């Protein structure tokens, strides 16, 4: 928020709503459907921690709902007050409500103190320029919301530069995905591109010294033998059912196999991504206070 914006932003409105039949509540509930989220370019996140992470990371909360009972709780009052003051000052509306309304929005057994409606945000493809020791994760047609959320969280934890969604994927802004990211959605770059676009950019990147490692059950290289200190990296992961398309596999500098030793045919996508990223980022990871 720039100073001139600050001067012109009108504080959001505050309203008390106690009924699940209220039209504003119904329209937030409708954001459970992707077409409604996309039409308004918004999504829902739940929980005081996630909403605070979002606002701290300069994401825009259009509407903040909180439970009046939770705001009267000594352990939560200050945090809820601070959050709602910031949201309001940045132009977002505040809806003071109850647990029944919040539960109806999140379909959870344990009610959340806070639910937020946020503006969607992705990184324009033109801004993806792997440099230095960047490591990007690219996902071919990821289908499972839990996998995507876990991959976003793991990518954040291991210091990846961002996550590129290639082709038709599950919605990163679905409630289940956002939940699984545990707030990492707000800390990492997320971009989308078509398969054709990825392949075209991949050829430019490899020409500039970026190593693109595809992971494949027919990979010719043991992932532990790859050198990830050569410069910028892209780690490309395949679809849960079909693996990488042939065209994407052909765009890679290497195809790596993660060695296995049991009866399982393959690893879960999120687990495989974690293993690859750990290897690719190993030389950048520090555990302060622990012996190496
Ligand atoms: N039936 C799929 C296939 O034939 O590729 C299995 C896909 S696997 C569940 C999902 C993705 O995880 C794969 O495309 C690959 O990116 C990664 N993966 C899983 N296990 C792997 C392994 N042992 N080596 C390399 N990549 C693996």
Residue-level pLDDT at 288: 77
> Residue 25: CB within 6 Å of ligand 1?
no
Cα pseudo-dihedral 119, 113, 145, 276, rounded to 10: 90
Query: Are 40 and 31 contacting, i.e. CB atoms less than 8 angstroms apart?
Result: yes
Residue-level pLDDT at 202: 97
User: How far apart are the CA of 216 and the centre of ligand 1, in A?
Assistant: 6
What's the rounded mean pLDDT across residues 183-208?
97
Nearest CA to ligand 1 atom 19: 267
> Residue 269: CB within 6 Å of ligand 1?
yes
Assess whether pLDDT exceeds 70 at residue 2.
no
Give tens-digit pLDDT for 172-193.
999 999 999 999 999 999 999 9
Residue-level pLDDT at 6: 55
Residue-level pLDDT at 109: 73
What's the rounded mean pLDDT across residues 213-241?
96
Residue-level pLDDT at 5: 57
96 or 291, greater pLDDT: 96
Give me the DSSP letters along 155-201: HHHTT-SEEEEESS---TTSHHHHHHHTTGGGTSEEEEE-HHHHHHH
Assess whether pLDDT exceeds 90 at residue 286.
no
> Residue 214: CB within 6 Å of ligand 1?
no
Mutation probe of ligand 1 site: the residue of 215, 218, 273 with most atoms within 8 A of C-beta: 215
What length does the chain have? 292
Assess whether pLDDT exceeds 90 at residue 1.
no
Assess whether pLDDT exceeds 70 at residue 248.
yes
What's the rounded mean pLDDT across residues 41-50?
96
Mutation probe of ligand 1 site: the residue of 267, 270, 271, 277 with most atoms within 8 A of C-beta: 267
Give tens-digit pLDDT for 17-34.
999 999 999 999 999 999
Assess whether pLDDT exceeds 90 at residue 171.
yes
Residue whose tokens read 């765009």 = 251
pLDDT band at residue 106, thresholds of 50, 70 and 90?
A: confident
User: How far apart are the CA of 123 and the centre of ligand 1, in A?
Assistant: 27
pLDDT band at residue 108, thresholds of 50, 70 and 90?
A: confident
Nearest CA to ligand 1 atom 8: 240
């Amino acid at each position: 928020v720039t100073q001139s914006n600050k001067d012109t932003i009108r504080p959001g409105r505050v309203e008390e709503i106690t009924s699940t039949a209220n039209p504003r509540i119904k329209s937030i509930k409708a954001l459970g459907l992707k077409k409604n989220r996309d039409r308004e370019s918004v999504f829902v996140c739940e929980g005081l921690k996630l909403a605070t992470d979002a606002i701290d990371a300069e994401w825009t909360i259009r509407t903040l709902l909180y439970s009046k009972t939770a705001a009267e709780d000594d352990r939560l009052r200050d945090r809820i007050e601070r959050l709602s003051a910031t949201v309001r000052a940045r132009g977002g509306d505040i809806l003071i409500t109850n647990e029944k309304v919040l539960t109806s929005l999140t379909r959870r057994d344990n009610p959340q103190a806070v639910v937020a409606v946020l503006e969607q945000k992705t990184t324009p493809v033109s801004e993806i320029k792997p440099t230095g020791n960047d490591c990007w994760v690219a996902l071919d047609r990821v289908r499972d919301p839990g996998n995507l959320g876990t991959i976003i969280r793991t990518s954040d934890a291991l210091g990846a530069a961002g996550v590129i969604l290639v082709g038709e994927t599950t919605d990163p802004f679905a409630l289940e995905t956002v939940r699984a990211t545990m707030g990492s959605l707000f800390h990492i770059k997320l971009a989308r591109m078509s398969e054709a676009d990825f392949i075209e950019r991949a050829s430019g990147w490899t020409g500039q010294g970026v190593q693109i490692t595809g992971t494949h059950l027919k990979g010719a290289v043991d992932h532990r033998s790859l050198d990830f200190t050569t410069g910028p990296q892209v780690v490309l992961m395949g679809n849960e059912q079909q693996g990488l398309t042939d065209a994407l596999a052909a765009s890679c500098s290497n195809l790596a196999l993660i060695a296995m030793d049991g009866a399982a045919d393959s690893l879960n996508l999120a687990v495989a991504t974690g293993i690859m990223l750990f290897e690719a980022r190993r030389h950048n990871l520090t555990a302060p206070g622990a012996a190496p």
